[in-house]
Structure 1
């Protein structure tokens, strides 16, 4: 079988876009094959276990992309708060530049929809959130935040990121993201549990 060298990437790009815009359940393999302009055999060649394997690959790919951007902001930011603010402002720019198309909260895309149907997909989504939280937590620990508080704050920041992006997409307006930018320093200034 002759497979285009870019067939795997075309399938992943198309599947990610369709999962983001239509959801996991509404996206069929036939549509992915058609929209990616790939031979049917190439999908099964690269993803022999079908849709779930393809979704897992998309989840991992999305996680790596976001974690890389987040890590860059956390490493180059003057403080953890400034790194997170930079990351959110980048999300806001991407959302506006794309007219709010294709920038979807991870939780909206797969975590909620797939966690009930597959333990493997649920575990992969859980791992994504933990990975992102770990990037934030590492920087907070470097800045002297105690571990328990760093864990709590990192979880809250990921929730803030996901929630503000969901609102921005719903309103088709970057204001919820800009509001999140403003609240980050206060969120990270808390040092003890009340």
Structure 2
């Protein structure tokens, strides 16, 4: 339908950026079309169910990116503690390089905002958090942590990522992410 071979990607990338920076409710389909430089027909061709379907695609893409990044760290020949600390230090670098812009905690941009309007979006967000936790959980299990304790620790670590990033961006300081990194041994040890 589109003249552009990568129109779908342009729409998803633009929608993700706008959902992150403006929020789900403040982002309109017309703005996504305009900012992605895509014909209106392309959006409805690729996402016939509209904004919610597009948001689901963005949620899944975001999750895949974070899972891939987390796996890069936990699959190294280092402890899970060191892997989580390195992941947090990468978040520090990303925050500094972006001048604290363009990074928004997943829970803030979509999970809280969309969970009450759509069961499908809420379920997708729940799956995202579970997928992130599972990466850490599996590594904890490999290191001999009890199953329930590993699940609890993985949940807390994901909450730590999200909360520390929210504080870092709000305060425009890497302090909260660095503090989180310093306390990872207490949580996971």
Alignment of 1:131-150 (within 5 A): 131-150=131-150
Show the counterpart of 2:98: 98
Separation in 1, partners of 2:162, 2:117? 22
Question: C-alpha separation between the residues in 2 aligned to 1:77 and 1:168?
Answer: 29
Map residues 104-115 of structure 1 onto 2, 5 A cutoff.
104-115=104-115
Match of 2:119 in 1: 119
**Structure 1 pair 104/44, CA: closer, same or farther in 2 (3 Å)?**
same
Q: Report the Cα distance in structure 1 between the residues aligned to 2:139 and 2:80, rounded to whole angstroms.
A: 6
What per-residue deviation string (whole Å, max 9, x for no partner) do you get for residues 114-146 of structure 1? 000000000000000000000000000000000
Q: Between Structure 1 and Structure 2, how many residues are aligned?
A: 189
Q: CA deviation at 1:173?
A: 1.0
> Structure 1: where are the runs of 5+ without partners?
190-194
Distance apart, 1:77 and its partner CA: 5.0
For 1:1-194, what aligned pairs fall within 5 Å after superposition?
1-76=1-76, 78-189=78-189
Q: RMSD in angstroms over aligned alpha carbons?
A: 0.7
Which ranges of structure 2 fall in alignment gaps of 5 or more residues? Answer: none
CA deviation after TM superposition for structure 1 residue 58, in Å = 0.1
TM-score (norm 1): 0.96
Quick one: distance in 1 between partners of 2:102 and 2:118? 24
TM normalised by structure 2 equals: 0.98
Deviation at 1:60, TM superposition (A): 0.1
| Mapped partners of 2:170, 2:154: distance in 1 | 24
